[in-house]
Amino acid sequence: NSPKAAPAPVDHGGATYVGEAVCIACHATQNNQFMHTAHANAFRLNPKNEAQKVSCESCHGPGSNHLKDPISPSNRGSLVGFTKEWGTPIEKQNAMCLTCHQGEQRMFWPGSAHATQNLACSDCHNPMAKLSETGLLKKATINETCYTCHQQQRAEFAKRSHMPLPEGKMSCVDCHNPHGSTTKPALKADSVNELCYNCHTEKRGPFLWEHAPVRENCLTCHNAHGSNHDKLLTVARPFSCQQCHGNPGHQTTFFNAGQSVGGGAGVNSRVLGRSCQTCHSQVHGSNHPAGARFQR
Amino acid sequence: LGVALASTAAATPFADSATGVGTVLGNTMSASTTKARPQDPAWEKAKHTPTGQMYQLPFAMPKAEDIKKLASGWEYSGQVEVGFVGGDVDERNAQFRMYQDPDNGAYVNNFSLQMKKPAGGYFVELTGGGAGQHDQYYGLQFGRYNDWKVKLYFSETPHVFTDRYRTLWSGLGTGTLTLLPGLTPGGTASTAVDNASVASVIANTPLTTLSLVRKRSGVRLDADLSKTWKGYVSYALEKRQGARPFGAVWGNNPGNTPMEVAEPVDYSTHDVLAGVSHVSGQNAFNFRVSASIFQNHISTLTFEEPYRIANVAGVTTVPAAGAFTQGRMDLAPSNQAYNARAEYTRAMPDFYRSYLTAVVSFGRWRQDDSLIPYTSIPGIALANVTLLPGGGWDTTGSLSRQTTGASVDTRLLDLTYSINPSSDLNLKAKARYYETDNNTDPFLAVNPNAVYTDADATTAGNQTRGLTYEGLTGVWGRLLNDGSGQSVLLGANANPAGNVAIRSSPFGNKQFKFGPSADYRLNKISTANLSIDREINARENRERDRTWEDRAKLGYVNRGLKNSSLRVSYEYGQRRGSDYNSTYYDENFSSALFPIPTAAGTNVTSWAVRGNNGMRAIDLADRDQHVVNVRLDTMLRTNLDAGLSLQGREAEYPNTTYGLTGHSQRSANIDLNYQPSPKQTIYAFYSYQLGRLRQHSISSQGGAAVTIGAVTPLGTITPANAIEIGQAPGGPIFPLLNAWTVRSTDRNHLAGFGLKQELGKGAILNVDYSYSIGRTRIGYTYNVGGAINAANAVFAGDRMPDLATDVGFLDASLSIPLTPRISARLFYRYQKESIRDWHYRNLAATPIVPGANAAALPNVLMLDAGPDDYRVNWYGVTVQLKL
């Protein structure tokens, strides 16, 4: 199979199903964990088809060839395993998962960033143990699971201003679909702004007087995860505003250390506190008829 | 079992990975609670993911015979963890409480109940924690496995903005801020007295916390409708209530006497989501509709102001001194958003195992609030302007329309076709069209019920007439800041009077992205991938009509290195665009009402004053970008793995002379995980990030004239080139001597380690520690005598003081089983943050930044003293009881 193909039927080499009782006879330890998973409850308490009724073999494939030589590494091809040690090809592992998990939120898995990186479902999920409350993840939480590869984002959430992930009030999956989406960063919306508006609905507008970069992309001024600056800004105010505003007057004033209180002779309100937003407080847009400069 | 089920607090997603927010229920204690769980002693050896990362050893779970059973056939288990929290945890510091809300005293850390009826496969799950605190959460699920389920949830998230706000008003959190006793609305005849009164109130009023609490509750039903169809429907209500720092200014542009007021927050958002999905044979189909109704229950903020605001030039005779007693802000308007989305995939296994995915999505954002008048102050009159009946500036008769009438339509069409010409090669073609179509009519800042009474450009003697633009006739411009300032064209005499904004610009854009990609299997263990795409953006009402960015990305994945996996990618992107029109917005200003004068000696600055035409907006500028990602996962031993990742992003803006000219972001990260046995787990990590940014500008020359016939370094000014020279670097308004450059460098370190150790007899010690260091250095260059004079250069130096933040976190927990059903947990947590931010330098002591002298209006009232350090030691003693 090529790496990013739609799932193909898995060839089990003519093996037949032996039933989970046979599996559990040797794998009682695994079963003590598996019995608490959503898979086990679905397969054992309310199976929807014959494939689910065979429980263990629903995912690992029919076990008869495995029973012929359950020890020898050379016979590992007789079962589908989901660990690096077992060595089942990624495409074969994922195809087993996708036999039940096609469509829905996995519609965009083929061609997704994670699929392009040749990730297996079991790189994030552990179907055999209930480590997380749902999702059968390899770690106890969504965020911990993502951080195992996305260490850069973990560092950003530790910065001065950040989204409330370390405090347990948000998860990566609030914004991203790890199974892929129509956007490059796997956003759960058609655009960055549509995503941000899910929680920041007051900034959705549309407003009477709009601010061009606000309407197009929140990330023009803000970092998505965390920042050394207030309000997740990409750079400290007033310099952030001066990246675009070159109009005559204070927009082009050279602001400096001499303008903070006690810094020198020329204290400037634009260097203090919320900087430009002390006056231009409606920077995301104003609905006041006099709000062209976002002051009301 | 009780300890095991405590993990229920850790994470219970209430939306799935494709739809909705609110995917976790938990709080600041959840991670600690989860890590206190014992491991499964029978699971002695950690296996690895296909990439080579160790799976976390599973938690100890109850065996079948340990689960209680009722005569009704229901099995159940559950637990509750309650106790006391003490120490410094009552700390009110805003940084400490930003998103968490622990307090001294009795504490319900978490509880859970799980019930299952094997006959029929029914289940009930209840979870909750942080009871009574502003970070509390509760969830209830019930249903039938593999068939249907109902989820209900409630979660609170606090957001504390500041605990050092010096209020001058009562009524924080409401739409009316009334000055505290001792302050006079509109001020007194003596600004010195007003300054003293404000200082006295600040000195005698306790510091106030400005915060809001986000309360989200919801219900969701998921059900299998048939063997091939599933459906879901959900409703969520989110309420946000509180107040946050805000600001208001008075007078003309650039304004004076800015003061930090408090914005009230009283929002409700209703989210309705419903969808179906279908999977059958080679077809998969999703359809979803959603509605989001946002309501702001406080539409305006009226605040009294404590100073005597004088009329500015052009505001004549009235109001009388002291009449500006209050200001009024128009707050975030209520709005609605709707979306319908369909996704379809068709697999064609018999035709080179190809498939087609198509997505269409349509949405609309609407906002039609009633507009408020320019001012709530009656009787404001302007020079050369006569108000007609009903045209008072404090009435909506002075507006060109009565409601916003704004809407934006969004449209998405996304197509992907994938085909496998051989068993080793996959090819894809992707095309994406996304549009935000802004249907809002430009707002015209004109009083249609007012006329000019001065001489116009064509007829001798005073006239009584309005000026006509875009079909509307009247007096153009708008009052500023409740009438304490004005930006109105004060006459029909052919002088645009500078930058008078008369028209808004609704913004929208069309994005078209397309390109092929290929994935090729090099051998059994490695693949290479290449993607090329072009993204075209066509924008409404921007300086640049179109930009296009070409990207090429090459990736390599090797999963077969000895005990390791390697992933490497490089991407190059080049953005270019159509001509950049720095004068695009001229049609929104009063200069559009009159032709530029041609007579020699005429100052045409009003026509040529828009801005530095060497500056490029960040999102429109030409850009060359390189992105590199490297990731190595390796199993150093069977029980020790390491993960190393490197990222680099370099962006240059080759055709930007002023504005953002370059930025970069680099990071290096390493993780180590060691799991020698179920009794011991150790991890450590370190991340380093370096971010750089460079920007340039030119301080404008105050009062500079652009005079027809004047000789400049850029040539003699004529009516034809006046605007170009007026806006050009090196011209009279932007002399090169005034140029300045800012370089901002962010450096961050994050280090952490953790230990989980079983001490015997089931006792478990868990320790997690992390320390984060953030430093931002902003340096600059300038010409003495240009951007600033020699005297100020002494204070300016060559950089701002560093922005510095240090955050330390230690969580230590000792769990001790007392009986088979009861265990105790002792935990200790140390949290500290030190923060240095020049924005708030000395503001704690100097909230009134004085003006020229004690009798002058203050420079600014900085009522928020800003973030402050904290150091909190807190501990807890809890008992976990299982049912």
Alpha-carbon distance A10 to nearest alpha carbon in chain B (angstroms) = 13
Which is higher by pLDDT, B593 or B44?
Answer: B593
Q: Which of these, B272, B143, B292, B156, lies nearest to B219 by C-alpha position?
A: B272
Position B323 pLDDT exceeds 60:
yes
Q: CB distance from B779 to chain A under 8 Å?
A: no
Closest Cβ–Cβ partner in A90, A104, A216 for B286: A104
Answer yes or no: do A167 and B99 touch at CB < 8 A: yes
In chain B, the residue whose alpha carbon lies closest to the alpha carbon of A217 is B619
Contact (CB, 8 A) for B485 and B312: yes
Identify the weakest region by mean pLDDT among A205-209, B129-133, B254-258. B254-258
Verify whether the Cβ–Cβ distance A202 to B332 is below 8 Å: yes
Residue of chain B nearest A125, judged by CA positions: B49
Q: Are B201 and B183 in contact (CB under 8 A)?
A: yes
Which is it for strands B711-712 and B715-716: parallel, antiparallel or unpaired?
A: antiparallel
d(CA B136, CA B215): 10
HSE, CB side, 13 Å, CA atoms: give it for residue B656.
29
Rounded (10°) CA dihedral B253, B254, B258, B261: 60
Chain B CB within 8 Å of residue A74 CB: no
DSSP, res B43: -
Cβ contacts (< 8 Å) between A122 and chain B: which residues?
Answer: 49-50
Among the partner residues A152, A182, A229, nearest to B647 by beta-carbon distance: A152
* Cα–Cα distance measured from residue A57 to residue A23, given in angstroms and rounded to the nearest whole number: 9
Q: Which ranges constitute the DSSP H helices of B44-108? A: none
Q: Which of B286, B529, B860 sits opposite A116 (nearest CB)?
A: B529
Cβ-contact B407, B440 below 8 angstroms: yes
Distance (Å) from the C-alpha of residue A71 to the closest C-alpha of chain B? Answer: 17
Torsion angle of C-alpha atoms B647, B774, B93, B213, degrees rounded to 10: -20
Closest CB from A126, A265, A292 relative to B504: A292
Pick among B146, B527, B771 to test the A interface (most A CBs inside 10 A): B146
pLDDT per residue as tens digits for the range B468-491: 999 999 999 999 999 999 999 998
Contact A260 B782 (CB under 8 A): no
Quick one: pLDDT at residue B457?
65
CA dihedral A270→A271→A275→A279, nearest 10 degrees, is -20
Closest CA to B754 of B806, B676, B681: B681
B869 at the A interface (CB within 8 A)?
no
Predicted confidence band at B73 (pLDDT cuts at 50, 70, 90)?
A: very high
Rounded Cα distance, A257 and A242, in Å: 16
Amino acid letter for position B752: G
Contact B504 A209 (CB under 8 A): yes
Residues B334, B368 contacting (CB under 8 angstroms)? no
Which residues lie below 8 Å from residue B102, measured CB to CB, with a gap of 6+? B28, B29, B85, B89, B133, B135, B874
Q: How far apart are CA A49 and CA B92, in angstroms?
A: 57
Say whether B400 sits in a helix, a strand or coil: coil
Say whether residue B643 is in contact with chain A using an 8 A CB cutoff.
yes
Which pair of structure tokens corresponds to residue B715? 């040539």
DSSP-derived secondary structure letter, A274: T
Q: Are B702 and B733 in contact (CB under 8 A)?
A: no
- Report d(CA B568, CA B555) in Å as an integer: 6
Distance from CA of B14 to the nearest CA of A (A): 10
Residues 379-398 of B with CB under 8 A from A: none
* b (16+ CB within 10 A) / e for A38-55: ebbbbbbbbbeeeebebb
User: Chain B 155-184, CB below 8 Å of chain A: which residues?
Assistant: 155, 157
> What's the pLDDT score for residue B254?
82
> Chain A 244-273, CB below 8 Å of chain B: which residues?
244-254, 256-258, 260-269, 271-273
User: Which positions ≥6 away from A165 have C-beta within 8 Å?
Assistant: A143, A157, A171, A172
pLDDT single digits (tens) B750-785: 999 999 999 999 999 999 999 999 999 999 999 999
- Per CB-CB distance under 8 Å, the chain A contacts of B361 are 190
Q: What angle do CA B826, B827, B829 make, to 5 degrees?
A: 160
> Which run of H or of E encompasses B724?
helix B722-727
Spell out the alpha helix ranges (H) of chain A.
20-26, 28-34, 38-45, 50-53, 56-60, 64-68, 90-101, 113-116, 142-147, 151-156, 192-196, 212-216, 239-242
Strands B300-304 and B176-179: parallel
Give chain B positions within 8 Å (CB) of A159: 748, 772, 774, 805
Within B151-224, where are the H helices?
191-204
Chain A residues lying within 8 Å of B332, measured CB to CB: 202-203, 287
* Confidence tier at A8 by pLDDT (50, 70, 90): low
| Portion of chain B with pLDDT greater than 70, in percent | 97
Question: Measured between CB atoms, does B530 come within 8 Å of chain A?
Answer: no
Q: In this predicted model, what pLDDT tens digit does every residue of B213-244 receive, in sequence order?
A: 999 999 999 999 999 999 999 999 999 999 99
Q: Does pLDDT of B339 surpass 90? A: yes
B380 Cβ contact list (under 8 Å, min separation 6):
B315, B318, B319, B392, B393, B394, B479, B483
A119: contact with B, CB 8 A cutoff: yes
Look at residue A224 and tell me whether its pLDDT is greater than 80: yes
Buried b (16+ CB within 10 A) or exposed e, A233-263: bbbbbbbbbbbbbbbbebbbbbbbbbbbbeb
Burial per residue of A183-198, b for 16 or more beta-carbon CB atoms within 10 angstroms, e otherwise: beebbbbbbbbbbbbb
User: Quick one: closest CA in A to B808, which residue?
Assistant: A158
Q: Say if residue B10's pLDDT is above 70.
A: no
Q: Is the Cβ pair A244, B860 closer than 8 Å?
A: no
Residue B43 has pLDDT above 50, yes or no: yes
Least confident of A123-137, A157-171, B633-647, B819-833: A123-137
Q: Which of B306, B304, B303 is nearest to B188 (CA)?
A: B306
Nearest CA in chain A to B529: A116
A64 close to B (CB below 8 A):
no
How confident is the model at residue B154, as a pLDDT? 97
Q: Tokens representing B389?
A: 């009946």
Kindly report the nearest CA distance between residue A17 and chain B, in angstroms. Answer: 22
Instruction: Give the closest residue to B761 by CA, choosing from B817, B814, B813, B812.
Output: B817
Q: Strand runs (DSSP E) across B310-405, as ranges?
A: 315-316, 326-330, 335-348, 354-367, 381-382, 385-387
**What ipTM was estimated for this complex?**
0.94
Higher pLDDT, B255 or B152: B152
* pLDDT single digits (tens) B701-716: 988 999 999 999 999 9
| pLDDT of A3 strictly over 60 | no
Q: Nearest residue on chain A to B865, judged by CA atoms?
A: A273
Sign of CA dihedral B652, B656, B658, B660: negative
Q: What are phi and psi of B793, to 5 degrees?
A: -60, -30
Question: pTM (2 decimals)?
Answer: 0.95
Cβ contact B776:B746 at 8 Å = yes
Asked if residue B662 has pLDDT above 80, the reply is yes
Mean per-residue pLDDT for A242-268?
92
Percentage of chain A beyond pLDDT 90 is 85
Which of the residues A26, A33, A84 would you substitute to probe the B interface, choosing the one with the greatest number of B C-beta atoms within 10 Å? A84
Q: What is the pLDDT of residues B117-129, one digit of tens each?
A: 999 999 999 999 9
Contact A202 B267 (CB under 8 A): yes
**Chain B: nearest CA to A36, how far in angstroms?**
8
CA distance B434 to B431: 10
- The answer, for B508 touching chain A at a CB cutoff of 8 Å, is yes
Residue B743 has pLDDT above 50, yes or no: yes
Q: Please determine, for residue B13, whether its predicted confidence score (pLDDT) is greater than 70.
A: no
- Give contacts of A167 with chain B, Cβ < 8 Å: 27-28, 98-100, 135
Q: Would the CB atoms of A194 and B410 count as touching at under 8 Å?
A: yes
Task: Mutation target for B interface from A117, A153, A240: give the one with most B CBs within 10 A.
Answer: A117
Q: Which of B56, B48, B58 is nearest to B635 (CA)?
A: B48
Task: Please tell me the distance from the alpha carbon of residue A251 to that of residue A244, in angstroms, as a whole number.
Answer: 9
Rounded to the nearest angstrom, the minimum Cα separation between A65 and chain B is 23
Q: What is the average per-residue pLDDT within B546-554?
A: 98
CA distances from A148 to A133, A178, A257, B560 (A): 18, 14, 41, 20
Q: Do the bridges between strand B564-577 and strand B546-561 make them parallel or antiparallel, or are there none, so unpaired?
A: antiparallel
Q: Give the chain B residue nearest A190 (alpha carbons).
A: B412
Smallest CA-to-CA distance from A258 within B795, B837, B842 is with B795
| B11 pLDDT more than 60 | no
When pLDDT is cut at 50, 70 and 90, the band that residue B317 belongs to is low
pLDDT at B151 over 90: yes
Convert the pLDDT of each residue in B343-390 to its tens digit.
Answer: 999 999 999 999 999 999 999 999 999 999 999 999 999 999 999 999
Burial class (CB in 10 A: 0-12, 13-18, 19+), B36: buried
H or E, element range at B433: strand B425-438
pLDDT exceeds 60 at position B4: no
Among the listed residues B108, B84, B112, the one whose alpha carbon sits nearest the alpha carbon of residue B3: B112
B61 touches chain A (CB under 8 A): yes
Phi and psi, residue B137, nearest 5°: -155, 150
Backbone angles phi, psi at B84, to 5 degrees: -130, 145
In chain A, residues with a C-beta closer than 8 Å to the C-beta of B157 are 164, 169
Tokens of B294: 């946002």
Q: B 569-628 residues with CB below 8 A of A? A: 609-612, 614-615, 617-619
Residue (of B558, B584, B552) closest to B571 by Cα position: B552
Residue the block writes with tokens 């979803």: B288
- Report how far residue B616's alpha carbon sits from residue B209's, in angstroms, rounded to the nearest whole number: 40
Instruction: State the pLDDT at residue B1.
Output: 34
Query: Residues of B with CB below 8 A from A121's CB?
Result: none
Out of B253, B428, B795, closest to residue A265 by CB = B795
Cβ-defined contact of B247 to A173 (cutoff 8 Å):
no
Is the distance from CB of B879 to CB of B824 less than 8 angstroms? yes
Q: How far is the C-alpha of A234 from the C-alpha of A230, rounded, in Å?
A: 9
Residues of chain A found within 8 Å of residue B501, distances taken between Cβ atoms: 292-293
d(CA A274, CA B261): 12
The lowest-confidence range among A290-294, B603-607, B832-836 is B603-607
Q: What is the pLDDT of residue A20?
A: 94
Shortest Cα distance, chain B CAs vs residue A128, angstroms: 9
